[in-house]
Amino acid sequence: MIMDLLPVSLRKYLQMSKRQRKHEMQMTLWYMPFIYITLALVLVAVTLVMDLKLEVNQYIPEGFKMDSSATRMLVSTLIGGILTLSAFTLNSLLVVLTTFSGQFSPRMLLNFVSDKQTQHALGIFNGSFVYVLIVFLFIGSSSHEYFVTIPFVTISLAFISAITFIYFINHATTWMQVHNITFTMKKASKDIINHTLRKDIEKFRTKAAGDLMENYREDANTIDAIKSGYLQLVDYRIMIEEARKDNIIVKLHVQVGDFILTGNRLISYWGPGAEEVDEEKYYRMVEIGHKETELQDLQMGMHKLAEIAIKAVGNDDPKTATNTIHQMADLMLTVENYITFTPYLMDDDKQVRVILLDESFNYYIYRGFGYIRHYAKDNHLIITEIINGLAMVAESIDTSKHNDLWEFAYNTLDHIEENLVYELDKTFLLEALYKLATITDNDPDYYLVKDRFYPGENNRHTEKDSDD
């Protein structure tokens, strides 16, 4: 009943899990300013008590005291000054957000908003303004002749606000630089892998399927989604533990980041204890919402990086696209190093309890480079950079992934019209492909591609070698 009386904007936070609530609050503009405003109220109470109750001016030299009229004038003046700085800061923030949305990706707005430096800057301005405003209300009718703490703190806050304003302008302009944007996006995706996926999933993964209770699988029960939305979060640890207690195997039919409709199959389960399972319990272990989140969704971070490159291609900015491709290549190394490509999650007894949808390294290659490749089309400079990026990745990862990298590159060149490529473009493109072919041991396929661009040249080399 009480929940229904709350505004929707507040009600949604109470309906989230603790982990998701923390994430969503940190992605809002008011989170850090609220903390600073609370601290400002505490500081107001402390300074008023020191000046009005404890009368610390009795113990301070005359040079550090300020009479009541001068204090009122100081505080009233700084109210306008701090408010002006806050207005300029918010205006700069709107300019940055507009630039991000139009030039890069609207999905990047929350990254700047949730940035700690941005949050702290807004918090300092709001906290300082609230402090001087409330202090002015209390000292406006005060009969005290001298003040010490209030003018000292007020001047200090004005000085801090001025420094913060300069810092924020520098921070915004630095954050907007392409290399910083792409690095930040890549770092966010790496954090998802290192801090979230490894903790939530990787420690439970096993390549050995073991006993999948196939005798019970024909009678598997299903749990359907009761609302439409994106699968945002899955509590794998609790799901594994509960499946162990119920002696069942749980299979997820969607993965984090997928959109699901009401009535679509979400979970199926089977095993000796399937008849006594509380389905509502397992449904509560997943979060379905109206938007995608980055808590467990690595694909969303990769999409953001890809969108930067796509926007750059559309804006005729090859340097930005190239930088994004390099960061994507680095992210591929993290994917290969820290993600085990197996759908099986086991409990402490080495029994598989949860089965995920199959994923492969090839899937992540497509998610990372496939979208860029599609929009690059006949932009041979960008295609060459993609091949170079794949070659760098191949040089650093396990040889078991080489074939996936080569197949992606080989398929990419299958759709290039060789008659429309400039001569130097052909040269550099084939050099990049040859490097990848050498690393992945696919030289014969490379010469097939080269023969498409230079028909008959391979035969001429072969005949010359035979004559020699």
User: Is 401 among the domain residues?
Assistant: yes
**Is the model's pLDDT at 390 over the cut of 80?**
yes
Instruction: Specify if 122 maps to a domain.
Output: yes
pLDDT in tens, 51-68: 888 877 777 776 667 777
118/17: higher pLDDT = 118
Report residue 269 as tokens.
């389960």
Q: Is residue 279 part of a domain?
A: no
191 falls within a domain: no
Range with lowest mean pLDDT among 13-22, 49-58, 325-334, 447-456: 13-22
Domain boundary (160, 176, 192) is at: 176
9, pLDDT greater than 80: no
pLDDT tens digits, residue range 408-448?
999 988 877 766 677 888 889 999 999 999 999 999 999 98
Q: Would you say residue 210 lies in a domain?
A: no
Res 3 pLDDT > 60: no
Q: Where are the beta strands (DSSP E) in 11-166?
A: 66-67, 146-147
Q: What is the largest CA-CA distance in the chain?
A: 110
Q: What is the pLDDT of residue 7?
A: 59
Rg (CA), the chain: 30
Q: 166 with 305, same domain?
A: no
- 3-class DSSP assignment, residue 221: strand
Domain termination residue (choose one: 153, 176, 199) = 176
| Structural domain contains residue 234 | no
pLDDT digits (tens, 9 = 90+) for 126-142: 999 999 999 988 886 66
Question: Of 20-34, 113-127, 274-288, 295-309, where does mean pLDDT reach its minimum?
Answer: 20-34
What domain count does the chain have?
Answer: 2
Confidence (pLDDT) at 462: 47
Residue 4: per-residue pLDDT? 58
Whether the Cβ atoms of residue 344 and residue 206 lie closer than 8 Å to each other:
yes
pLDDT at residue 8, as a whole number: 56
Same domain, 14 and 157: yes
User: What is the per-residue pLDDT across 153-210, written as a single tens digit (0 to 9) for each?
Assistant: 999 999 999 999 999 888 888 887 878 888 887 888 888 777 777 777 888 999 888 8
pTM here is 0.78
Residue 264 has a pLDDT of 95
- Grade residue 5 by pLDDT with cuts at 50, 70 and 90: low
Q: For residue 82, what are the CA distances in angstroms to 53, 124, 233?
A: 27, 10, 41
What is the pLDDT at residue 112? 78
**What pLDDT, on a 0 to 100 scale, did the predictor assign at position 142?**
64
Half-sphere exposure of 110 (CA within 13 A, CB side): 15
Q: What is the pLDDT of residues 328-378, one digit of tens each?
A: 999 998 888 878 888 999 999 999 999 999 888 888 899 889 989 988 887
Q: For residues 88 and 86, what is the distance between their CA atoms, to the nearest angstrom? A: 5
Non-local CB neighbours of 286 within 8 Å, separated by 6+ positions = 231, 233, 234, 235, 266, 267
Residue 148 included in any domain: yes
| Domain region containing 368 | 301-341+359-467
Among 15-19, 382-386, 400-404, the least confident range? 15-19
- Residue 452 in any domain: the answer is yes
Indicate if 172 and 321 belong to the same structural domain: no
Work out the pLDDT band at 11, boundaries 50, 70, 90. Answer: low
Among 161, 176, 191, residue at a domain's last position: 176
Same domain? 306 vs 163: no
- Among candidate residues 372, 252, 251, the one with its CA nearest the CA of residue 321: 372
Q: Are the CB atoms for 367 and 346 separated by under 8 Å?
A: no
Which strand (E) or helix (H) includes residue 127? helix 116-139
Residues 370, 376: Cα–Cα separation, whole Å? 10
**pLDDT of res. 326:** 93
Residues 38-48, mean pLDDT to the nearest whole number: 93
For 117, which DSSP code?
H
The pLDDT of 82-90, averaged and rounded, is 84
**Positions of E strands within 240-302:** 249-252, 259-260, 265-270, 286-289
Q: Calculate the average pLDDT of the chain.
A: 84
